[in-house]
């Protein structure tokens, strides 16, 4: 142990007897002592990872840590200045969270007498900085800052309205959570390499800013969630020719998808949930779609999407949705789940051609049960489904190279009650929950 550190530790032990509970409030002497202790630590120069949690001091010492790779500063509520970190040559990941007194980030953070600041930093997280309102660039234009930064997460920075341009050029992953809506405006046309974008918890956001998605031709994943006032998306969606995954959740006022949505020719995955104002889901040219999940959209009445390449389909808790006009091209389908959709009365005819279907789950669909019961010629009191050869042409399909039954039969409600049935039929694993069907 460092001698000076040991001496201060012994002094602190004398001030705080073992049988006395420490006070919760931080005094001036506590802050000074914490600063002296942290300075006296003198971490080894070969230290790779450094975590500081709950430090009550007002500033950090200047350390020589040439081999530091990962640094986390968490709940340092007394700090009014960030430490000088730009000179660390191998720092790859920096996590800073819950520092309520930091008002600005600038020169003191980047370091003095450096030509490249943060030369190796790839990931930067800044979260819960409620007082941060300014993030400035270096006063020396010859200094390169964040040359390889690829992932940036900003969370709970409610007063920050912009970030420097130099941070944008190399970014591939950007997450903005619970920040001021103004910060979205500085994203337009400035992220040429961006492949992942997450926008979450913008309570006052009504519409995405114009030009925000301009020149984002490398964008592959987009997630928008918890924006309760968001009413519409911008038409620039049609320019996202590389977009493969789109997720929209908890946007209760979103009523329509953008006009250019049908131009997302590379889209493979689409997830929409808790968008209660959405009435129609229409994207007739998105033939590349492989995964579709729609959940808890109470007003959704129709779906018009090409399904010839769709492999996984899940529709859950959509009380206004029927499958009228549902496409028959389901040849690539591997799994189908329909749960709590009372208006759905029949399965798509195209399921007969789903030769790769491996999972079928039907639950809480009373309309589907009634329709199926009417088309079922007999009750099977034995509890054993009939062989496919005994079914009429309308009740059988060629699935997995074998004639297999895919309708729900009335005998299930008599013999299974609330117990789910799992029936292995060749390649088909049929999951049936009959408690509400």
**pLDDT tier at 137 (50, 70, 90 boundaries)?**
confident
Cα–Cα distance measured from residue 351 to residue 357, given in angstroms and rounded to the nearest whole number: 8
Q: What is the pLDDT of residue 349?
A: 74
Closest alpha carbon to 277 in 232, 310, 226, 213: 232
Q: What is the pLDDT of residue 231?
A: 92
Percentage of residues of the chain with pLDDT beyond 70: 76
Cα–Cα distance measured from residue 374 to residue 2, given in angstroms and rounded to the nearest whole number: 84
- Is the pLDDT score of 322 beyond 70? yes
* Across 289-308, average pLDDT: 91
Q: What is the pLDDT of residue 235?
A: 67
H/E stretch holding 11: helix 3-15
pLDDT digits (tens, 9 = 90+) for 417-431: 444 444 333 444 444
Q: What is the pLDDT of residue 177?
A: 97
- Which of 68-72, 91-95, 384-388, 425-429 has the weakest average pLDDT? 384-388
What is the DSSP code (8-state) at residue 346? S
Are 287 and 327 in contact by the 8 Å Cβ rule? The answer is no
What is the DSSP code (8-state) at residue 270? E
pLDDT digits (tens, 9 = 90+) for 239-273: 888 999 999 999 999 998 877 787 888 999 999 99
What would the two tokens of residue 188 be? 């337009």
- Judge residue 365's burial from the number of C-beta atoms within 10 Å of its C-beta, 0-12 exposed, 13-18 middle, 19 or more buried: buried
* Across 62-68, average pLDDT: 89
H/E stretch holding 5: helix 3-15
Q: What is the pLDDT of residue 90?
A: 97
**pLDDT tier at 228 (50, 70, 90 boundaries)?**
very high
Helix (H, G, I), strand (E, B) or coil at 6: helix
H/E stretch holding 404: strand 402-405
For 145, residues 6+ apart whose C-beta sits below 8 A from its C-beta are: 86, 110, 116, 117, 118, 137, 138, 164, 166, 167
Q: β-strand 196-200 against 173-177: which pairing, if any?
A: parallel
* Across 140-145, average pLDDT: 82
The mean pLDDT value of the chain amounts to 79
The domains of the chain are located at 1-42
Q: What is the pLDDT of residue 289?
A: 92
H/E stretch holding 109: helix 107-110
What is the DSSP code (8-state) at residue 194? -
- Is the pLDDT score of 385 beyond 50? no
**Core vs surface per residue 225-256: b (16+ CB within 10 A) or e:** bbbeebeebbebbbbbebbbbbbbbbbbebbe
Q: What is the pLDDT of residue 424?
A: 39
* Across 34-48, average pLDDT: 87
């Amino acid at each position: 142990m460092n001698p000076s550190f040991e001496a201060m530790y012994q002094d602190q032990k004398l001030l705080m007897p073992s049988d006395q509970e420490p006070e919760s409030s931080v005094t001036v002497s506590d802050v000074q002592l914490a600063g002296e202790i942290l300075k006296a630590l003198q971490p080894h120069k070969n230290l790779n990872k450094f975590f500081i949690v709950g430090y009550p001091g007002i500033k950090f010492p200047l350390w020589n840590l040439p081999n530091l790779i990962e640094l986390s500063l968490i709940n340092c509520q007394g700090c009014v200045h960030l430490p000088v970190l730009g000179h660390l040559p191998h720092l790859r990941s920096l996590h800073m969270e819950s520092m309520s007194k930091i008002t600005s980030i600038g020169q003191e953070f980047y370091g003095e007498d450096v030509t490249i600041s943060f030369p190796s930093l790839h990931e930067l997280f800044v979260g819960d900085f409620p007082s941060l309102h300014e993030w400035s660039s270096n006063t020396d234009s010859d200094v390169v800052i964040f040359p390889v930064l690829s992932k940036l997460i900003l969370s709970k920075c409610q007063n920050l309205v912009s970030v420097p341009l130099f941070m944008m050029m190399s970014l591939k992953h950007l997450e903005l959570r619970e920040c001021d809506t103004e910060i979205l405006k500085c994203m337009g046309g400035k992220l040429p390499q961006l492949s992942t974008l997450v926008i979450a918890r913008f309570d006052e956001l009504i519409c995405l800013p114009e030009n925000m998605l301009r020149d984002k031709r490398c964008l592959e994943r987009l997630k928008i969630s918890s924006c309760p006032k968001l009413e519409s998306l911008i038409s620039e969606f049609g320019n996202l020719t590389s977009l493969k995954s789109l997720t929209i959740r908890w946007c209760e006022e979103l009523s329509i998808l953008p006009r250019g949505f049908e131009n997302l020719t590379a889209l493979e995955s689409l997830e929409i949930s808790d968008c209660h104002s959405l009435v129609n889901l229409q994207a007739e040219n998105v033939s590349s779609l492989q995964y579709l999940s729609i959940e808890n959209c109470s007003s959704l009445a129709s779906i018009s999407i090409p399904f010839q390449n769709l492999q996984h389909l899940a529709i859950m808790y959509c009380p206004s949705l029927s499958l009228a006009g549902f496409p028959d091209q389901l040849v690539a389908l591997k799994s189908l789940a329909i749960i709590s959709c009372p208006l759905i009365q029949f399965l798509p005819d195209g399921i007969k051609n789903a030769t790769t279907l491996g999972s079928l789950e039907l639950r809480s669909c009373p309309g589907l049960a009634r329709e199926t019961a009417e088309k079922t010629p007999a009750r099977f009191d034995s509890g054993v489904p009939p062989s496919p050869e005994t079914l009429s042409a309308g009740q059988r399909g060629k699935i997995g190279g074998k004639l297999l039954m895919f309708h729900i039969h009335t005998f299930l409600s008599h013999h299974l009650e609330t117990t789910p049935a799992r029936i292995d039929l060749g390649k088909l694993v049929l999951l049936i929950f009959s408690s509400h069907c």
